[in-house]
Structure formats: structure tokens, C-alpha cells
Amino acid sequence: MKVEREKIVLVLHGSPKRSANAWEPFRVYLSKILDVPEDDVVLAYLQFGEPDVESALRQCLKDGAKRVILHPLFLSAGVHVTKDLPEIVEKVKADFPWAEVLITKPLGQHEKLAEIVKERIDEVRTYSPQSIEEESFRIIEREFDFSRFLPLEKEVVKRVVHATADPEYIETMVFHPKAIELALENLRNKKKILVDVEMTKAGISKRLYPREKVVCYLDRVGEVRIGTRTEQAVELALKNENDLGLVVVGNSPTALVRAIEVLREQKRDDVVVVGLPVGFVKALSAKLMLLREDIPYITNLSRKGGSPAACAVVNALLSHIHSLAFS
């Protein structure tokens, strides 16, 4: 039988961090489950919060409650539950000898608590960055046809589609026959990666490749009267860097054109060009120019492109190397 004028005090430890003490929604929710007025469920704190337990208990009794139930929101019956709370109750009852004050068990090793722990574990598994990425790749694999690509080409295209959320790359990406093998060899040997802009540099995985091995020469180019800064930066780098393995262009069509011209002049075929600049002017024509050269390339025959797509190519290759190293 329900006792008249009963109140519930939820006892929390309390925290210096104010947001950690914000249990008001839980208090309201519990009152609904207990089917009691909201005011009959009260929050109280042992430390760092207001009201403290003694003040809350006294206020409940002053408001006319004949019974007060204290529920410690603690996992186990430690010192707070077995010593501190009983002492507070004893002190208050000295002034309210007629009052009935009860203390419940803490949460303890209850099977429903285990279910909550399982739920929290499942949440972090589901929403971890790795889980989200894995599920994204499963969706991409399930919804799109990659049958025209060789296995490693497929992995590269999948990552580009993932990075851009654009399946059109499945239709437009093309690979020089030697590109994948040479790119992997150069990356394993830690050869430098030349990029056209800092955004492209930022997108290449720091975890998978040494930062000092990714170079951008834009800050070495002063005022430009003819052409663009990116094309002059790429030319300067190609003429000064002797240990390049990849040239990655994800922004500037003019940088790709100049890279092709310099590599042709140098008669180099030991560098892979990842050419995915974006734009309505020269982007597609620069990629078509790349196809006509005997330079190992990875590109897409479209105006689309950009640093995310270009970086995705490199990161796919680096991920493949990393997976082999730890398999």
C-alpha cells in the first residue's frame, strides 16, 4: 500500500564539472516510471552539488513527507553508502524522530545493469570511426559494380567513392598498367610525395606515411607574372627533388599540365602521377594529356576531382601496404 506523503531522494556523488551533475531529465523520467508527482523525486549530492543530502532530506520532512527513501546512485556499497549516508540520516532523525527514512541498496551487480553495459559497448562498436568506415565500404561493395577493375585498382576506386560519396568515379577512373605496382614500390621505399597544394598534403594519412616525405613547394614561389603559382611550384620541385615517387595533383589543372611537361623533358618513368584536378577549365584536357604520355598514371576522365579524391588514391595504396605488414 502506498504511504501517504512519501518522497524519493536520489543521491549522487557529485562532480566539480557542472554538466556531470545535470540529472534533471533522469529525475523527471523516474517520477513518471514510479507514477508519482515530479516534486516527489529529489536530487541530492554528497559533494560539489546542491542541495547536499542533509539539506534535501530536511526539506522533504519540512514539506510534510512521512517517509523518505534515499536511493544511492552508486555501483557498490562503499563508504558513502555504508557510513556517510547512515550518519546523515541519524543526524536528521534526531530533529525529526517521527520520520521514517529508508536507504535502498546501491545499483550493484544487477542483470539489468549488465544489459546497460552491453548496450554502451554495442554503441561504441557501432559508431567508432573504424566501424563506420567498414560499414561504408560494405555498402559501396554491395551497391556498385567494380568488375572492370583489377583487385588493387578496385580498392583504390572504392576508397575514392567513399571519400567523395560519388559513384561516378567507378565509370571514369583509369590506370596505367604499371601505375599500381610502381606506386606501391615507391611508397614502400619511402620516396617523397609531391603535392600541388597544402590541402592535398593535409589529406594524406600522417599515420601511414612520414610527414617529412610529403612535400609542397607553394611557399617557395614568389610573385607570378606568367602562369600559376601551383604550376611553378610543381616545376621547381620536380627540378630539385631527386627522390620523388609520386606526384599528386588534386586541385590545379595547370600544375598537372606542367608536371607532365617536366617529366616528359626529364624522360622519367619512375614516378607515378596521381592526376585528379577539379574544374571546368583545363581539368579534363589535362587528364587526357596525361593519358597520351608514357608516364605511369592514375586519373579520372571527368571534370570532377579534388584533393579528397587524390588523397583517397594515395591512402588506399598506403592502407594496402599497412595491411600486408600486419597480416
Domain count along the chain: 2
Would you state the pLDDT for residue 230? 94
Separation CA 201–CA 230 (nearest Å)? 13
What are the pLDDT digits (tens) for 198-253? 999 999 999 999 999 999 999 998 787 788 999 999 999 999 998 999 999 999 99
Would you state the pLDDT for residue 212? 95
Is a pLDDT exceeding 80 seen at residue 326? no
Q: Looking at the structure, tell me whether residues 216 and 268 fall in a common domain.
A: yes
Residue 253 lies in a domain: yes
What are the pLDDT digits (tens) for 284-301? 999 999 999 999 999 999
Q: Looking at the structure, tell me whether residues 200 and 113 fall in a common domain.
A: no
Residue 212 lies in a domain: yes
Would you state the pLDDT for residue 91? 95
Q: Looking at the structure, tell me whether residues 59 and 154 fall in a common domain.
A: no
Q: Name the residue range of residue 18's domain.
A: 6-125
Cell representation of residue 29: 523520467
Q: Average pLDDT in the 133-138 region?
A: 87
> Do 260 and 290 touch, CB atoms closer than 8 A?
yes
Is a pLDDT exceeding 50 seen at residue 26? yes
The β-bridge relationship of strands 272-275 and 244-249 is parallel
> Do 273 and 253 touch, CB atoms closer than 8 A?
no
Would you state the pLDDT for residue 224? 77
The β-bridge relationship of strands 173-175 and 297-300 is antiparallel
Residue 137 lies in a domain: no
Residue 62 lies in a domain: yes
* CATH number of the domain that residue 251 is part of: 3.40.50.10230
pTM of the complete model: 0.66
Going from the C-alpha of 285 to that of each of 81, 162, 292, 314, the distances in angstroms are: 75, 25, 11, 22
Q: Looking at the structure, tell me whether residues 158 and 115 fall in a common domain.
A: no
Separation CA 138–CA 127 (nearest Å)? 15
Cβ-in-10-Å burial (0-12, 13-18, 19+) of 163 comes to buried
**Domain stops at, among 93, 125, 157:** 125
Separation CA 175–CA 149 (nearest Å)? 9
User: Crossing angle for the helix pair 151-164 and 307-325, nearest 10 degrees?
Assistant: 130
Q: Looking at the structure, tell me whether residues 159 and 11 fall in a common domain.
A: no
179-215 burial by CB neighbour count: b if 16+ within 10 A, else e? bbebbbebbeeebbbbbbbebbbebbeeeebeeeebb
Would you state the pLDDT for residue 2? 47
Q: Looking at the structure, tell me whether residues 158 and 279 fall in a common domain.
A: yes
Residue 130 lies in a domain: no
Name 248's bridge partners. Answer: 195, 274
Residue 134 lies in a domain: no
Would you state the pLDDT for residue 327? 61
Separation CA 27–CA 163 (nearest Å)? 43
Q: How confident is the model at residue 324 (pLDDT cuts 50, 70, 90)?
A: confident
Would you state the pLDDT for residue 225? 77
Q: How confident is the model at residue 196 (pLDDT cuts 50, 70, 90)?
A: very high
Q: Looking at the structure, tell me whether residues 19 and 80 fall in a common domain.
A: yes
Q: Looking at the structure, tell me whether residues 157 and 104 fall in a common domain.
A: no
Q: Looking at the structure, tell me whether residues 165 and 305 fall in a common domain.
A: yes
Cell representation of residue 21: 551533475
Q: Looking at the structure, tell me whether residues 177 and 241 fall in a common domain.
A: yes
Q: Looking at the structure, tell me whether residues 108 and 163 fall in a common domain.
A: no
The residues carrying an active-site annotation are 162
Would you state the pLDDT for residue 226? 83
The total number of residues shown for the chain amounts to 327
* CATH number of the domain that residue 68 is part of: 3.40.50.1400
Q: Looking at the structure, tell me whether residues 10 and 114 fall in a common domain.
A: yes
Cell representation of residue 103: 536507504
Residue 292 lies in a domain: yes
Separation CA 237–CA 232 (nearest Å)? 9
Verify cis geometry, omega within 30 degrees of 0, for the bond prior to 72: no
Q: Between 252 and 127, whose confidence is greater?
A: 252
Q: Average pLDDT in the 79-89 region?
A: 93
Residue 132 lies in a domain: no
**Domain stops at, among 92, 125, 158:** 125
What are the pLDDT digits (tens) for 239-282? 999 899 999 999 999 999 999 999 999 999 999 999 999 999 99
Would you state the pLDDT for residue 231? 92
